[in-house]
């Protein structure tokens, strides 16, 4: 019997207290989770890529959609605000690393301070994202949807800038009353009535000769097709069906509804990650304040939460590229 050998190997390898790959159990599981979560996000972004290549000749251009910066109303500044959001998230990643590092040095108050900064960074980011969503949902110029579901946008014939429906549509006092569920035979109502009817837009367009229509079809140079004055009027009269302002899951004044769907789904899923990250950070922050990790003798929990927080930053870097840049 060679019991001596097997006993000693039992003690070293299977005796417990081992850390495979020199990683603690919790950290290994965090990596495991992040890997699978990363694959989920990759799936979403790859699906976005699919939709985009499938509609390569009519996909909306992000720098025409996201042009707003808070407090700078009416100016078109594509990318500036998203770049700011990216910077905020990277900055909060930095404070997170500093918190982890302070944890290695067992400096309780320093960890708490950096955790707090990280939480603030996360809140600014989530708030910015909410603002971005609300500007996208409200829209700015309004457009017309055709019978085939295409979007017709109105532009000025000289500057080629988009023109808001408010600027040219003729508003009548129509007798059309919103149908509410109390009035009908059965308990259903209709959605909010649009500000203008299609007839009012056609009339307004006929009265203002400097307005042209831009379709979603991209020409060889990658620009959207602009119709001549005559074609514009004909298309609008023949195909115009309803008014679209802003974006939701069904309609999108900037073009493809699918663009809005992916935007809401992917940035929403990412925003939910940031939000839950903030909540987890707050819990850990209070644990730090209460001295939980001081008693435990190490700040590994801060490190694990840090991994999650950096992952959120990592995903945003990709969302930023594929939604705003490419």
Candidates 7, 29, 72, 106; binder of another protein (CB under 8 A) is 106
Are the C-beta atoms of residues 281 and 115 closer than 8 Å to each other?
yes
Q: Which residues pair with 155 in a beta bridge?
A: 162, 212
Contact 143, 255 (CB under 8 A): no
Site for another protein in 156-215 (CB under 8 A): none
Q: Per this entry, what is the length of the chain?
A: 326
Half-sphere exposure of 173 (CA within 13 A, CB side): 0
Judged by CB under 8 A, does residue 118 bind another protein? no
Query: Using CB under 8 A, which of the segments 104-112, 125-133, 136-144, 243-251 binds another protein?
Result: 104-112
Number of other residues whose CB lies within 10 A of the CB of residue 7? 10
Q: Which of 67, 97, 156, 229 binds another protein (CB under 8 A)?
A: 97
How far apart are the C-alpha atoms of 297 and 106, rounded to whole Å?
8
Counting contacts by CB under 8 A, is residue 325 touching another protein? yes
Instruction: By CB under 8 A, tell whether 137 contacts another protein.
Output: no
Query: Which residues lie closer than 8 Å to 68 by C-beta, 6 or more apart?
Result: 77, 81, 132, 135, 140
Name which of 16 and 148 has its Cβ closer to another protein. 148
Q: Of the candidates 25, 53, 186, 187, which one interacts with another protein according to CB under 8 A?
A: 53
* Alpha helices per DSSP H over 192-256: 198-207, 229-239
Comparing CB distances to another protein, the nearer of 263 and 311 is 311
- List residues near another protein by CB under 8 A: 21-24, 28, 31, 34-35, 38-39, 42-43, 46-47, 49-57, 63, 78-80, 83, 86-87, 90-91, 93-94, 96-98, 100-101, 104-106, 146-148, 150, 217, 222, 239, 298, 300, 306-307, 310-311, 313-314, 317-318, 320-321, 324-326
């Amino acid at each position: 019997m060679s019991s001596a050998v097997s006993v000693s190997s039992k003690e070293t390898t299977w005796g417990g207290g081992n850390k495979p790959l020199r990683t603690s159990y919790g950290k290994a599981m965090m990596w495991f989770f992040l890997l699978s979560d990363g694959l989920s996000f990759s799936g979403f972004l790859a699906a976005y890529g699919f939709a985009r290549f499938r509609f390569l000749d009519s996909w909306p251009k992000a720098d025409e959609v996201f042009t707003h910066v808070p407090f700078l109303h009416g100016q078109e500044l594509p990318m500036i605000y998203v770049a700011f959001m990216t910077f905020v998230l990277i900055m909060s990643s930095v404070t997170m690393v500093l918190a982890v590092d302070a944890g290695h040095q067992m400096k309780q108050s320093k960890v708490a301070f950096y955790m707090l900064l990280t939480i603030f960074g996360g809140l600014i980011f989530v708030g910015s994202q909410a603002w971005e969503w609300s500007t996208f949902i409200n829209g700015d110029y309004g457009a017309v949807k055709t019978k085939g579901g295409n979007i017709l946008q109105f532009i000025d014939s000289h500057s080629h800038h988009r023109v808001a429906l408010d600027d040219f549509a003729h508003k009548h006092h129509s007798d059309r009353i919103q149908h509410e569920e109390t009035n009908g035979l059965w308990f259903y109502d209709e959605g909010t009535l649009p500000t203008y009817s299609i007839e009012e837009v056609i009339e307004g367009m006929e009265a203002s000769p400097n307005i042209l229509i831009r379709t979603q079809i991209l020409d060889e140079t990658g620009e959207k097709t602009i119709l001549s004055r005559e074609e514009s009027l004909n298309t609008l009269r023949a195909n115009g069906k309803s008014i679209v302002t802003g974006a939701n899951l069904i309609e999108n004044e900037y073009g493809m509804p699918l663009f809005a769907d992916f935007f809401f789904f992917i940035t929403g899923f990412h925003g939910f990650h940031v939000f839950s990250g903030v909540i987890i950070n707050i819990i850990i922050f209070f644990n730090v304040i209460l001295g939980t990790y001081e008693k435990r003798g190490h700040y590994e929990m801060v490190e694990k939460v840090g991994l999650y927080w950096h992952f959120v930053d990592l995903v945003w870097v990709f969302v930023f590229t594929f939604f705003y840049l490419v």
